[in-house]
Structure 1
Amino acid sequence: MIAFASNLVLAITWVVLTGTFTAVNLVAGFVLAYVVLRLTKRGSPQFDRYFSKTPKFIGFIFFFIWDLLKSNLRVAYDVITPSHHMRPGVIGVPLDAETDAEITILANLITVTPGTLSLDVSGDRKTLYIHAMYIDNEEELRKDIKNLERRVIELLR
């Protein structure tokens, strides 16, 4: 947390010193501050974890945006065509996530994605029940959910 706060303070300092208060300049300052911190704080345990997690977080953002785009296009196509291709249903997905934060973030990311909705977690917290609009192949859907879960766990652990 100290590493992120340092990066943010340096980025805001960059924005103030340049006098250009835009989102693009803030992102540029954030990237520049990340590079400066990477060069100056190498070997510090607090900063090393931050440096290893940041590329994973950026990769996760792109992965999730791509997943959102695909889901939106599939639902939009189904809405604008005369015939419906939906095969709705509820499936249970076994969980590797252990903490409340991991399960909550996974469930919320599933719910935000069009065409899927997290319904419930089993009492033993080992299964997440999901309603999906398109269950063409249950195993493929489970594999996609497990891939999302793996990425969430990588970020949080």
Structure 2
Amino acid sequence: MIPYPLLSLSLLAMWLLLNDFTLGHLVLGSVVATFGGWAMASLRPDKPKLKKWYLLPKLLVLVFVDIIRSNIAVAALMISGKRQKHTSAFITIPLEIEHPTALAIMAVILTSTPGSAWLAYDARRKTVLIHVLDLVDEEQWVENIKHRYERLLLEIIE
């Protein structure tokens, strides 16, 4: 009946802190807290089925190495300042991933890597728009994302 009891209790406590403690506010706050818990339950996505969970450490290592490498590259770019020309650009990358959890993981990976940011996902075209701080070769970026991350995510998440 109450899918998120801690959330419902927190909502009720907040309701009572913001209003006077009366029987009417207790009842109304309980109704609001219950409906708030139900609303959160309806937003909960399906749990992903991991086909090859043993590939998760490989993905984590790849992401960790890429984050370190990107940090060094962005730091070098910032230290060099205007002496070195860099071209920032937007790239549209076609994706095969459709599972919401896999898309969320891909968004976290691309956004947590310094020098790139996930901006928008077009579900109809199955493309993602990312911003790259220093774009040297667009095809290299597309291949890198598709072969390093997307391929692994497609194998891991069903």
Q: What range describes the TM-score normalised by the shorter chain of this pair?
A: 0.5 to 0.7
- Determine the C-alpha separation between the residues in 1 that align with 2:72 and 2:121: 28
Which residue matches 2:30?
none
**Identical columns (%):** 27
State how 1:80-95 maps to structure 2 within 5 Å. Answer: 80-82=79-81, 83-95=83-95
Give the letter for the 2:87 counterpart: R
Q: Deviations over 1:81-119 (max 9, x none)?
A: 242442100010001001111111111210010000000
Q: How many residues align?
A: 107
Q: Deviations over 1:108-142 (max 9, x none)?
A: 21001000000001141510000001211110000
Where does structure 1 differ by over 4 angstroms across 4 or more consecutive aligned residues?
none
CA-based RMSD: 1.8
Q: Which runs of no fewer than 5 residues in structure 1 stay unpaired?
A: 1-48
- Determine the C-alpha separation between the residues in 2 that align with 1:150 and 1:84: 34
- Greater C-alpha Rg: 2
- Determine the C-alpha separation between the residues in 1 that align with 2:108 and 2:125: 16
SS in 2 for 1:143: helix
State how 1:54-69 maps to structure 2 within 5 Å. Answer: 54=54, 56-69=55-68
Which residue matches 1:77?
76
SS in 2 for 1:81: helix
Deviation at 1:53, TM superposition (A): 2.2
- The TM-score with structure 2 as length reference comes to 0.62
- The TM-score with structure 1 as length reference comes to 0.63
Give the letter for the 1:152 counterpart: L
Q: Which runs of no fewer than 5 residues in structure 2 stay unpaired?
A: 1-49
Which residue matches 2:35?
none
SS in 2 for 1:121: strand
Deviation at 1:155, TM superposition (A): 1.8
Given that 1:78 and 1:85 are in contact with CA atoms closer than 8 Å, whether structure 2 keeps it comes out as: no
- Determine the C-alpha separation between the residues in 2 that align with 1:85 and 1:68: 22
RCO greater where, 1 or 2, for CA within 8 Å and sep 6 or more? 2
